[in-house]
Structure 1
Amino acid sequence: MHILNIMLGKGHGGLEQVAIDYHLAFESRGHKVTTVVPPNSWAKTILLSFTSNIIDFKNAGEWDPIAAYKLSKIIKREKPDAIICHGNRAIRICLKGSNGSAPIIAVAHNYKNKKFDKCDAIFCITKQLVERMHSFGIPEEKIFHIPNMVAFAEAPNRPTLRTPPVIGAFGRFVDKKGFGVYIRALAILKNEGIKCNAILGGDGPNKEKLRSEIKQANLTNDITMIGWITDKDAFFKSIDVFVLPSKHEAFGIVLIEAMNEEVPCISTRSEGPIEILTDKMDGLLTPIDDAEALANAIKLLLSDYSLCTQFGEAGRETVRTKFTMSVVSKLLESSTTKLLPQFYNAN
């Protein structure tokens, strides 16, 4: 198959990472992949490290009529067997520019779903999103559950708990990521006399707000803000416990990345993580926006190194069986192969 993989985001987040992973996954199964991305984007920089099958695509937004025309020329030239779109902008432009020449597959990355009913198939990253698509009246044969993925890491050599232990979290600094809850939980631990250091990686519009909250909680010497993380392996090696405090998390790629490195994990019971972690089996789940519960979960892990080891090993096994590229790439291939005859027989 030849896959045209379209992602028009310019950020440094899950949307971009998944588009990169789709390119790698289809290539690993022996298929040709051409990825369409904005010039000078972070995604393009990463793609260039392993492929030259990239097309630069400038656009002024999803309502850009010139963009639709330009994309129609690309589709006509590339003659893909299937077109995979990441994000609402890519979907809208592709629906205008494809002329029905190949099936359009929308990847449901989150709950902001527009025009999905107009696509030929939908790849949903969670079972909850599968049910959401059903609720829109989209036929079952068009909906596929395809979780996000990571490349399975070599067996990590995890250190024993540091003294004091190091807690880590990172992501985009926006309200839904719940980093204020993370700060309040760490303040509770400090007030109880539990010594630990913390790292907060990331960037975003709430950066100064979070810095102020850290200062108000008297944690300036306890939490280090390290900016956006470019070397995730080094980050995971530098921490003893990973925390995902999100109020809303459609999936949580960072969670499976941490589990992949055998880091014991704590997450809130947000949308994606409850389909990844099994509470008290391969990690801990806490209520959303509950700093006290989060503090108690951290305290439990810091008091029991054997539990850290247990959750770390079990988490990595969860990733190996459900979320590795070798597993998910087969799902991508079989799902795409299944829908192609449906499309071409109908057209």
Structure 2
Amino acid sequence: MRLLQAMAGAKHGGAEAFFERLAIAFTEAGVDQRLVIRPDTAREARLRQGGVTVETLPFGGFFDLSTGRGLARLAREADILLTWMNRATRFARPTARTRLVARLGGYYDPKYYRRCDYLVGNTEDICRWLRDQGFPADRVIYLPNFVEPQNAAPLPREALTDRAGPLLLMLGRLHTNKAFDVALEALPSIPDATLLIAGEGPEDATLKAQADRLGVADRVRFLGWRSDGPALLASVDALLVPSRHEPLGNVVLEGWAQRCPVIAAASAGPASLIVDKVSGRLVPVEDAGALAAAVRETLHSADAGRDLAAAGFESLQRNFSKAAVVARYRDFFDRIAPEGRG
């Protein structure tokens, strides 16, 4: 079975990071694969370092004719073409000799996926939504993400804050969907805590102004985009995921991987992963008061945080390990690969 993967995503992002992890894991598992990506020197270097064969195409706008031709050329040598999200899928075409599979990590516009032979959703809810859009149930497949525990060492505290008290962390793109503003609203009710915000995005200036308005700017550190997420998670007392919309919540898995207590809003992804008061805490969406109360309860007892973190780590190992997820992908590929390819 020969696999071609196509990704035209952003420089940073959860899907992009998982694409890299999965591609390297496939190579480690002996999958015969080739990748085609939008030019990105850093991404190419990481993938090549992981032993992956990489080519680049522009994945441009309406007048980009070279990407479609290039992708078709590469696909002729593949049994399966796996595309990631809208842009890559838009340039892909199914053939009699190559199965076209799109992997979705969100509720994307169905118009881009009508040509696909199969659709992979990384949550059960995305798969349900795809079936509701009219896609045949036997062509919609649930394949989850994985995150590997790294046992990262904590960062020096003075590199994060000069204040005493608990450290809270949020990771992700600074976008309204992620509800960083709700966490800021909660902070005045979490005495002495410092909130670390690691990410970049369009809400940066708005969030900084909000922190000033609430009088908590001295307890908030905007770290920008960070590549040391595991070390940050190892350095804090809790991870906050108050997202308004979160199809999966890959960041929940990242928190579990570092044995960090996770406190999340009950949007679709976190609610499907976390058992409240067992493997994390769930609070209503957009409820700053409930978020603050859950944080206070978790911080009040060291045992409470440790128990949540331990149960989350156990769930990660049981359901979202690299070996388990790669095996599920390989079983799926073997089942759908066209016959008669030498």
* TM-score, normalised relative to structure 2: 0.92
Structure 1 partner of 2:91 = 93
Give the partner amino acid of 1:102.
T
Over 3 Å counting, the alpha-carbon distance change for 1:252 and 1:188 in structure 2 is same
| Residues 156-171 of structure 1: pairs in structure 2 closer than 5 A | 163-171=164-172
Give the partner amino acid of 2:34.
T
Output the CA distance in 1 between the equivalents of 2:276 and 2:144. Answer: 19
| 3-state SS of 1:105 partner | strand
| 3-state SS of 1:227 partner | coil
Determine if the alignment matches structure 1 residue 198 to structure 2 residue 179.
no
Over 3 Å counting, the alpha-carbon distance change for 1:235 and 1:258 in structure 2 is same
Determine if the alignment matches structure 1 residue 108 to structure 2 residue 109.
no
Structure 2 partner of 1:12 = 12
Structure 1 partner of 2:158 = none
Over 3 Å counting, the alpha-carbon distance change for 1:186 and 1:24 in structure 2 is same
**How far did residue 37 of structure 1 move?**
0.8
- How many residues are paired up? 333
Percent of pairs with identical residues: 25
Structure 2 partner of 1:212 = 209
Structure 2 partner of 1:80 = 78
**How far did residue 155 of structure 1 move?**
9.2
Over 3 Å counting, the alpha-carbon distance change for 1:205 and 1:254 in structure 2 is same
Output the CA distance in 1 between the equivalents of 2:87 and 2:223. Answer: 31
2:24–2:52 contact (8 Å) kept in structure 1: no
> What are the superposed Cα offsets for residues 54-81 of structure 1, whole Å, 9 maximum, x if unpaired?
01111313673332112112223xx112
1:156–1:262 contact (8 Å) kept in structure 2: no
Determine if the alignment matches structure 1 residue 254 to structure 2 residue 251.
yes
**How far did residue 292 of structure 1 move?**
0.3
**How far did residue 29 of structure 1 move?**
2.6
Structure 1 residue ranges without an equivalent (≥5) = none
Over 3 Å counting, the alpha-carbon distance change for 1:41 and 1:111 in structure 2 is farther
Output the CA distance in 1 between the equivalents of 2:96 and 2:32. Answer: 20
**How far did residue 30 of structure 1 move?**
1.6
| Equivalent of 1:142 in 139, 143, 150 | 139
| 3-state SS of 2:34 partner | strand
Deviates more, 1:3-12 or 1:178-187: 3-12
Output the CA distance in 1 between the equivalents of 2:95 and 2:275. Answer: 44
1:38–1:44 contact (8 Å) kept in structure 2: no
| Equivalent of 2:240 in 239, 243, 256 | 243
| 3-state SS of 2:282 partner | strand
Structure 2 partner of 1:127 = 124
| 3-state SS of 1:39 partner | coil
| Residues 284-303 of structure 1: pairs in structure 2 closer than 5 A | 284-303=281-300
RMSD between aligned residues: 2.1
**How far did residue 289 of structure 1 move?**
0.5
2:27–2:51 contact (8 Å) kept in structure 1: no
| Residues 248-327 of structure 1: pairs in structure 2 closer than 5 A | 248-327=245-324
> What are the superposed Cα offsets for residues 117-166 of structure 1, whole Å, 9 maximum, x if unpaired?
321111111111111121122222211111111123359899xxx95111
| Equivalent of 1:226 in 223, 230, 234 | 223
Structure 2 residue ranges without an equivalent (≥5) = 156-162
